[in-house]
């Protein structure tokens, strides 16, 4: 008689909801963030920022401050360590804004001019506020105007221009033409956790405990700046309370390392909320012109998208707002261009969906206007112009399921019941309308390393230099490892945020989870194969290391994007001009969803940000001083719970065949197209187009009053 043992098939957890593995630590306060980790003999630094928008430092009165209680040092351009800025890092040349205290020039208000170090943060702040800096002030320029003739081509991480076909000829031959200008304001990241870093030297090795979006990246920048061997620098960033693109290398880390070097003791520098508005980057305002031409059937013959953004006088950063037009719709003639204006303002930076967020507002509003002129449903117009390949690159798509997003979204939103005529729905003093828009964001991958260890007690330890900035990446990687090892997630311990774990992709560009998961899965799968051969586990465990550098480099050159269809219903108060978003629905095609629980949170969070972009957020500069009005969370309006309507996010099947797990990115696609959907809904409610964000009550009042039945 033969006995057969049947192995129960392993049921993976990828694709099923799982609570955050670090959730208990966070809600109980056990999770320590960069600014609250204790150090023995800790000193505190306080940055001093310039009060003029352009000029030179004539002198700094340091002696009275050095005599104040607890003050240990005042670092400035005359005594600070010299930095090496002649290198090209991960994201290009270093920004002089964070290569601090190297000269006496002041290019904008809020420029770091000194660091006061004291025994306590209170002493450091008091002394910093007492520090007197004398300037030779010069005229400054913050005039951001499209009429200026001193703009330059916007060469950033994408080409400044793309050009195909005879644009003017195609526009002239078009049955329907849209020519409109759209503007978006300066916007700030406004994450919960402020920027904080503690630097210390330990036996010739530099350690920085920081809040950042990529520990290995920060190591490289600090090593270059201070001419150190990268192997002698360690950066730890275990928990991060939001980043959205701003938490790379900034002035506070560099200043902390300088002070720790001078004092030979740990030094912590934490930015205030007001300092963050000047030192951590922001999204540049944009002025965008979109021209569209379509034939009688609504098919695009011409697409032109030009965008102007600003940058500082010391470093170029381009807001690549024409990116959506380069991937969303094809046309016989297709032109895009970025221009840049250098002003006496801080350097902008990456901010959630850089380029796509402001660019989709302009493009998707223009598409809606074209649909109105052509007498077509806005969804139908978009579907008629779905490209078969990348409109600019000519490359095939790995997958593109935007049409499925629109079909599912229209069904769930009740789009078929919509009266296309604007201004016909009313409830008392409220005009009602609905709108839609499309969105996309690139789904790239970067090389990463990971180790997975089989421990003698039956658990497994994952180590990777990833950064969980609130996305749930730690949990996603736990699930990926568990499935590759065919064990329950409870047997996995995932450690992240330490440069000692090796090179890893930054948490940015919606590339983090895809890149890290690839490395973790590779190491875990190899470890499972070794264990399947009957390997004994010694007390120190069995460790397998992966490196995806070669695999990522071998990826076929294709267009990789996540997509989304956004739907909004708004109510506009004709008495006050208030716009309320009543409900939002987003349907996304974003690859394999590893953890639906945190994925939905990411998408909903992006959509809420898009609503805020449409209705609330706007940083305004004072022409006389060059500074911001209300640079804090009182003056800069982000949404509260009372501002958030019913927001639903879901997805369609969209396995990416080019990825080992099928993953794309979801961190940024949620915001893309949201502002346009809201703006298009406001038009549907009032019959008036709003091409300038935010759609404030004062901007709405006159428009709503002009509607005949209002």
Residue with tokens 């630097």: 199
DSSP 511-562: -HHHHHHHHHHHHHHHHHHHHHTT----TT-EEEEEE-HHHHHTS---B-EE
Q: In what order do the strands lie in the sheet with 561-573?
A: 425-427, 430-442, 561-573, 579-589, 646-651
Question: Among this protein's residues, is 221 annotated catalytic?
Answer: no
Q: Are 127 and 115 in contact (CB under 8 A)?
A: no
DSSP 680-693: HHHHHHHS----BS
Which residues, at least 6 apart from 617, have a Cβ–Cβ distance to it below 8 Å?
Answer: 185, 187, 188, 636, 637, 638, 694
In angstroms, the CA 580 to CA 577 distance is: 10
Which residues, at least 6 apart from 2, have a Cβ–Cβ distance to it below 8 Å?
Answer: none
Q: Which of 187, 557, 668, 706 is catalytic?
A: 668
Strand positions, DSSP E, 443-496: 449-454, 460-463, 492-495
Q: Are 263 and 71 in contact (CB under 8 A)?
A: no
First to last CA, the chain: 88
Q: How many CA atoms lie within 13 A of 665 on its CB side?
A: 25
Residue with tokens 């999204």: 283
Task: For the beta carbon of residue 471, count every other beta carbon within 10 angstroms.
Answer: 26
Alpha-carbon distance values, 484 to 467, 492, 518, 524, 532 (Å)? 21, 11, 11, 6, 13
3-state per-residue secondary structure call for 402-439: HHHHHHHHHHHHCHHHCCCCCCCEEECCEEEEEEEEEE
Alpha-carbon distance values, 143 to 341, 343, 496, 600 (Å)? 9, 7, 44, 40
Burial 629-639 (b: 16+ CB within 10 A, else e): eebeeeebbeb
Tokens of 89: 């890092």
In angstroms, the CA 77 to CA 100 distance is: 8
In angstroms, the CA 130 to CA 71 distance is: 12
Q: Annotated catalytic sites, by residue?
A: 668
């Amino acid at each position: 008689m033969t006995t057969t043992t049947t192995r129960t098939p392993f049921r993976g957890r990828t694709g099923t909801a799982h609570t955050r593995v670090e959730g208990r630590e966070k809600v109980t306060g056990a999770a320590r963030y960069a600014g609250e980790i204790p150090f023995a003999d800790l000193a505190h630094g306080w940055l001093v920022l310039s009060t003029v928008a352009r000029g030179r430092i004539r002198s700094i009165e340091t002696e009275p401050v050095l005599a104040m209680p607890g003050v240990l040092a005042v670092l400035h351009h005359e005594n600070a360590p010299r930095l090496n800025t002649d290198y090209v890092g991960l994201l290009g040349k270093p920004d002089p804004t964070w290569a601090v205290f190297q000269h006496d020039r002041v290019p904008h208000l809020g420029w770091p001019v000194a660091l006061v170090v004291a025994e306590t943060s209170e002493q450091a702040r008091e002394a910093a506020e007492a520090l007197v800096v004398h300037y030779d002030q010069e005229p400054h320029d913050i005039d951001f105007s499209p009429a200026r003739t001193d703009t330059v081509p916007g060469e950033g991480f994408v080409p400044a221009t793309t050009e195909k076909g005879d644009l003017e000829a195609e526009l002239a031959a078009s049955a329907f033409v849209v020519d409109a200008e759209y503007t978006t304001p300066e916007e700030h990241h406004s994450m919960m956790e402020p920027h904080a870093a503690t630097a210390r030297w330990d036996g010739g090795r530099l350690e920085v405990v920081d809040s950042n979006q990529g520990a290995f990246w920060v190591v490289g920048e600090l090593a270059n700046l201070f001419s150190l061997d990268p192997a002698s620098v360690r950066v730890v960033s275990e928990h991060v309370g939001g980043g959205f693109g701003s938490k790379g290398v900034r002035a506070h880390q560099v200043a902390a390392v300088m002070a720790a070097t001078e004092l030979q003791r740990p030094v912590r520098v934490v930015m205030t909320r007001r300092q963050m508005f000047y030192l951590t980057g922001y999204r540049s305002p944009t002025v965008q012109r979109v021209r569209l031409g379509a034939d009688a059937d609504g098919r695009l013959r011409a697409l032109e998208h030009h965008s102007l953004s600003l940058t500082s006088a010391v470093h170029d950063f381009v807001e690549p707002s024409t990116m959506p037009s380069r991937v969303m719709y094809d046309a016989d003639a297709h032109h895009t261009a970025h221009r840049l204006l250098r002003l006496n303002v801080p350097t902008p930076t990456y901010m959630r969906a850089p380029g796509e967020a402001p660019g989709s507002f302009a493009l998707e509003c223009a598409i809606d206007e074209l649909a109105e002129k052509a007498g077509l449903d806005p969804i139908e117009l978009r579907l008629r112009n779905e490209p078969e390949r990348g409109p600019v690159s000519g490359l095939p798509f790995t997958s593109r399921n935007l049409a499925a997003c629109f079909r599912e979204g229209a069904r769930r939103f009740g789009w078929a019941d919509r009266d296309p005529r604007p201004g016909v729905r009313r409830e008392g003093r409220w005009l009602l309308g609905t709108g839609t828009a499309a969105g996309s964001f690139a789904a790239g991958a970067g090389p990463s390393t990971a180790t997975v260890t089989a421990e003698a007690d039956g658990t497994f330890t994952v180590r990777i230099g990833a950064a969980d900035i609130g996305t749930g990446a730690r949990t996603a990687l736990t699930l990926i490892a568990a499935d590759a090892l065919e064990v329950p997630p409870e047997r996995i311990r995932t450690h992240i945020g330490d440069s000692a774990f090796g090179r890893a992709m930054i948490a940015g560009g919606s590339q983090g989870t895809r890149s890290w998961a690839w490395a973790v899965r590779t190491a875990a799968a190899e470890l499972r194969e070794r264990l399947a051969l009957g390997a004994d586990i010694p007390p120190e465990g069995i460790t397998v290391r992966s490196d995806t550098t070669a695999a990522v480099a071998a990826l076929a050159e294709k267009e990789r994007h996540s997509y989304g269809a956004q739907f909004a219903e708004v109510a506009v108060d004709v008495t006050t001009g208030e716009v309320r978003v009543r409900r939002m629905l987003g349907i996304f095609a974003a690859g394999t969803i590893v953890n639906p629980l945190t994925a939905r949170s990411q998408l909903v969070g992006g959509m809420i940000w898009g609503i805020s972009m449409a209705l609330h957020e706007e940083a305004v500069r004072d022409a006389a001083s060059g500074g911001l009005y209300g640079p804090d969370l009182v003056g800069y309006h982000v949404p509260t719970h009372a501002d958030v309507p019913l927001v639903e996010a879901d997805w369609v099947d969209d396995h990416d065949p080019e990825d080992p797990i099928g993953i794309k990115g979801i961190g940024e696609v949620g915001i893309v197209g949201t502002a346009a959907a809201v703006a298009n809904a406001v038009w549907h409610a009032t019959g008036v187009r709003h091409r300038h964000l935010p759609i404030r009550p004062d901007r709405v009042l006159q428009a709503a009053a002009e509607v005949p039945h209002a």
